[in-house]
Amino acid sequence: MLTDNLSGKIAVITGANSGIGFEAAKYFSAKGAFVILAVRNESKGQIALESILRENPNAKVNIMKLDLADLKSVRNFAKSFMEKFEFLNLLVNNAGVMIPPYGKTKDGFELQFGSNHLGHFALTGLLLPLLKNTPGSRVVTLSSIAHRGAKLDFDNLDGSKGYKAMKFYGQSKLANLLFAKELDNRFKQHEIESISVACHPGLSNTNLFHFGKGETPAFIKGLMKFITQPAEKGSLPTIYAATEDSLKGGEYIGPDGRGNRKGNPAIEVPASNVYNIETMNRLWSISEEMTDVFYHF
């Protein structure tokens, strides 16, 4: 049963200016939540905010700057947020970069692992005091079907020993999935009421999808419509993960169609070897060391 009334709730969505994050922001604000659009590009965030208000003049939305590829920006966001708000009901770790040429974050991490995983790991850890103090709070982290067949190469996380864009994207999305599961494990171990849920949008036609360095050819865009679903549909697993009352934490939500590429949201069971306790603990420790954000439950 999806929660239909989010009045009085505060939600933070990273990358909320477009695609799945934007659709989720529209939904949560329509249900009464106060939604923070945590965005890297504030002018794009303003366009998104105005679009939401045109559709729903009563929506409570605000923009805050957040660059997940810059840990100083992550710390500034968390500090500013905690000065303004005393609780946080929902954190949606949505923003991401997909298959860019080799690059690094401001702190020297490989761009995809640094932005998609480490930025969100640091953000969640810094906001943990508010999440812990908010009964029934929830963290939703977006993974991808690209995690299938991926593995964490702990000896080459920075890509200095070779880089393949898709391989490193899969690695970052596997890290998202393992982080979400391990966060929920630790919530339960410490008897904290918060829960952590992972989800993925299947194949959704958002601005993450591109081919090569230039503009995606028109015929490819036409083809994409047949194999992907629109962002509005792709946002449903995120919305389900964020608002479904029956979820207990630790679930993975994705589309229910063939290959989990399209369809309606449902609980999905990852391959049996995905949740490796040793790997999850190693990822957690390395993430704390790399970000200098240590979780205190």
> For a pLDDT cut of 90, what percent of the chain falls above it?
80
- The 3-class SS string of 38-62 reads EECCHHHHHHHHHHHHHHCCCCEEE
Q: Domain ranges for the chain, please list them.
A: 10-203+232-291
**Active site annotation includes 169:** yes
Residue type, 72: K
179 band by pLDDT with thresholds 50, 70 and 90? very high
Q: Angle 236-243/19-30 helices, nearest 10 degrees?
A: 50
Q: Find out whether 105 and 115 touch, Cβ atoms under 8 Å.
A: yes
Instruction: Output the CATH code of domain 10-203+232-291.
Output: 3.40.50.720
Q: Is the sign of the CA dihedral 79, 83, 86, 87 positive or negative?
A: negative
> What is the model's pTM?
0.92
Q: What is the pLDDT of residues 38-59, one digit of tens each?
A: 999 999 999 999 999 999 999 9
Which of 27, 169, 240, 252 is the catalytic position?
Answer: 169
Q: What is the pLDDT of residues 180-233, one digit of tens each?
A: 999 999 999 999 999 999 999 977 555 544 434 445 455 445 544 544 666 777
